Amino acid sequence: MTKRPSFRDRLRERQRLLGTFVKTNAFQLIEVLGTTGLDFIVIDAEHAPFDRSGLDTLMLAARSSSLPALVRIPGSSPDVILGVLDLGGTGLLVPHVRSASDAGRVLASTRYTGNGRGFSNSTRAGHYGKLGMSELVTVADRETVVIAQIEDREAVECIDSIIAVRELDCLFIGRADLAVSYGVLDIYHPVVTDAVMKVCQQCHAAGKPLGIFLADGRDIEYYEKLGVTLFVIGSDQSFLRAHATTLREDFQDLKA
């Protein structure tokens, strides 16, 4: 029987992957998204109100739907990282990685080998004790995904050293925070475009997987040509708002 590739395998092979942000603490949304064929979701614990109990329920829904669930963490302290991974998260989207040392500290907290991640197999990640120590350590260290958000001027200036962190699975461009970091208020400002191009070119040259957030799918083809393979498009809330707005506009047009 052929082993199904893990999400980390697919990411590192630079397969085309499509996901969205989840910003609402409702397990039903995860179940709905699990029926759509999306490759993954990102639960946004940085900008949306998720506590550990809420994440626990959403992770259960993701597992039951066979939908890989990354978590954009609110901070990179070892206890935050441990909590997400023990709940069964596929991996982390880590905000504001500004240097190779930042990336290294996060990676250390995600790996059992090297004694950076506290061990317990009584968690969902350990199948509530079903996985023995050796199996859990092997599987977790092999399959846990770590994606570094590049959203600061400092990160762009030392992008080569961040790319060179071998265990880092992917870089992820955040244009909005890049704009703020450069002191502009437009994601299409030339200074932001230049920074994005630099990251894309360096990742492509190094063969490093690269992702980006887009509000909608109109620019997917453009960024694919620049080497981006992982796309986070919109969010559960933006989908709802867009569809409701379109419905209302169509309703008004019928009246006219």
User: In angstroms, how far is CA 53 from the centroid of its own chain?
Assistant: 20
Beta bridge partners of 148: 94, 171
> Which residue of the set 47, 127, 189, 243 is catalytic?
47
47 is catalytic: yes
Nearest to 242 by CA among 209, 218, 211, 212: 218
**Dist CA 159 CA 199 (whole Å):** 7
The phi, psi pair for 15, rounded to 5°, reads: -70, 155
Question: Is 214 strand, coil or helix?
Answer: strand
User: In angstroms, how far is CA 83 from the centroid of its own chain?
Assistant: 16
Catalytic sites, residue numbers? 47
